[in-house]
Amino acid sequence: MKFFIDTANMEEIREAHALGIIAGVTTNPSLVAKEKGISFHDRLKEICELVNGSVSGEVIALDAEGMIREGRELAAIHSNITVKLPMTPDGLKAVSVLSKEGIKTNVTLIFSANQALMAARAGATYVSPFIGRLDDIGTNGLDLISTIAEIFAIHGIESEIIAASIRHPQHVTDAALRGAHIATCPYKVITQLFNHPLTAAGIDAFLADWSTRTEK
Ligand code: E4P
């Protein structure tokens, strides 16, 4: 399973990218709105120039024609751009057109296996089931990852599954076990992945021992 980072914040992207683990970036309108005083297109370009991988920028239009127009504009920013579209009939119509033009697409707000299957058949490069938001309403989001992974394997579907709406490190481990190709994680979760009390205790013990050494 690969790691994407789920943010539009350049500092977070730079920090995570420096770790050498980031294969892509996802943004959404809420994440972009947190970044005050920026141009959406300029920010996407800046991210694409840093990260050599898929960078998702989401369309705002709700009608297929508008989504196709916005999708083409986003794709023209950089070859790393993936156009993110919502899981709606118009979204799928736009995916169908854009994917035939060779534009990478990410169908977002997926909450059922049938939605994922339809998105894949429309030509989506990526499908994004939202684990955390399903957990929030008392449904097991990870079960959806397993179901989609099984269906895609049975039918030889090549669309990649991005486990989205990740809330904590256990989601990351479980998404990997359930067959997600990618986990898109908030920066906070990426930092949490490092934590283990035995790692911290081990460093403390090594340094304490080092301070007692004697040299010839
Ligand atoms: C994915 O592409 C979305 O941007 C994201 O994972 C949504 O997560 P949230 O449910 O924490 O807003």
Which burial class, exposed, middle or buried, applies to 212 when counting CB atoms under 10 A from its CB (0-12, 13-18, 19+)?
exposed
Mutate to test the pocket of ligand 1, among 9, 13, 165 (most ligand atoms within 8 A of CB): 165
Query: Residue 215: its pLDDT value, please?
Result: 84
The structure tokens listed for 189 are: 């979760």
Tokens 């179901």 appear where?
147
> How remote is the CA of residue 131 from the centroid of ligand 1, in Å?
9
SS3 181: coil
> How remote is the CA of residue 171 from the centroid of ligand 1, in Å?
13
Choosing among 3.40.50.620, 3.20.20.70, 3.20.20.140, 3.40.50.720, the CATH entry for 2-210 is 3.20.20.70
Given a cut of 90, is residue 12 above it in pLDDT? yes
pLDDT for 62-103, tens place per residue?
999 999 999 999 999 999 999 999 999 999 999 999 999 999
β-strands 126-129, 104-110 pairing? parallel
Query: In angstroms, rounded to a whole number, what is the distance separating the alpha carbons of residues 106 and 85?
Result: 6
ipTM of the complex as predicted:
0.97
> How remote is the CA of residue 107 from the centroid of ligand 1, in Å?
12
Query: Residue 38: its pLDDT value, please?
Result: 94
Given a cut of 90, is residue 216 above it in pLDDT? no
β-strands 182-185, 81-86 pairing? unpaired
pLDDT for 129-175, tens place per residue?
999 999 999 999 999 999 999 999 999 999 999 999 999 999 999 99
Question: If you average pLDDT over residues 111-126, what whole number do you get?
Answer: 98
> How remote is the CA of residue 20 from the centroid of ligand 1, in Å?
22
Name the band, by pLDDT with cuts 50, 70 and 90, for residue 49: very high
Query: Residue 203: its pLDDT value, please?
Result: 97
84 part of the active site = yes
Distant-in-sequence, close-in-space partners of 155: CB < 8 Å, separation ≥ 6 = none
Mutate to test the pocket of ligand 1, among 28, 85, 136 (most ligand atoms within 8 A of CB): 28
Locate the ligand 1 atom nearest the alpha carbon of residue 164 and give its number: 6
Q: What angle do CA 200, 132, 42 make, to 5 degrees?
A: 85
Burial 99-128 (b: 16+ CB within 10 A, else e): beeebbbbbbbbbebebbbbbbebbbbbbb
Catalytic residue among 2, 84, 93, 188: 84
SS3 40: helix
Query: In angstroms, rounded to a whole number, what is the distance separating the alpha carbons of residues 107 and 194?
Result: 30
Distant-in-sequence, close-in-space partners of 58: CB < 8 Å, separation ≥ 6 = 27, 28, 29, 32, 83, 84, 85, 86, 108
Query: Residue 197: its pLDDT value, please?
Result: 93
Mean pLDDT of the chain: 97
pLDDT for 171-210, tens place per residue?
999 999 999 999 999 999 999 999 999 999 999 999 999 9
Query: Residue 29: its pLDDT value, please?
Result: 96
Pocket-forming residues, ligand 1, beta carbon under 6 Å? 6, 26, 28, 108, 128, 130, 132-133, 164-165, 184
Q: What is the dihedral of CA 64, 60, 113, 164, to 10 degrees?
A: 150
